[in-house]
Amino acid sequence: QVQLVESGGGLMQAGDSLRLSCAASGSTFEIHRMGWFRQAPGKEREFVATITWSAGKTDYADSEKGRFTISRDNAKNTMYLVMNTLKHEDTAVYYCAAAKSDYYFHTPAEVNAYDFWGQGTQVTVSS
């Protein structure tokens, strides 16, 4: 079992930058990839970015590519998301996720591709 804890959220102003962190513990050797998702009030959870744990291969949602950066520190068992030029529309609860493997019926952008989830961290961007 893997436990995930997000941190770094807060109240920001439009144009600010912010770094979120996700610390993994437990059976971290099981992690094949990790990802970030976000969920705004009244909306479904949506994909933000993902990274493979060993090679560090990244993929981003088309809408955020170039503005957000995902990374990981294997020695610290920690994943990061750097968000630049924050917009009011970025306001959401941001969730960390981890997957044991890539599944045949799911892409890494799908919620069901992941096995473990954190509790979320709130990011609020004033307009």
Question: Tens digit of pLDDT for each residue in 31-76?
Answer: 999 999 999 999 999 999 999 999 999 999 998 778 999 999 999 9
pLDDT given at position 63: 83
Backbone φ and ψ of 90, nearest 5°: -80, -10
pLDDT of residue 64: 77
For the segment 78-95, what is each residue's pLDDT rounded down to a tens digit? 999 999 999 999 999 999
For residue 26, is pLDDT > 90? yes
Encoding tokens for residue 37? 């998702």
CB neighbour class for 36 (10 Å; exposed up to 12, middle 13-18, buried from 19): buried
User: Tell me, what's the pLDDT at 47?
Assistant: 97
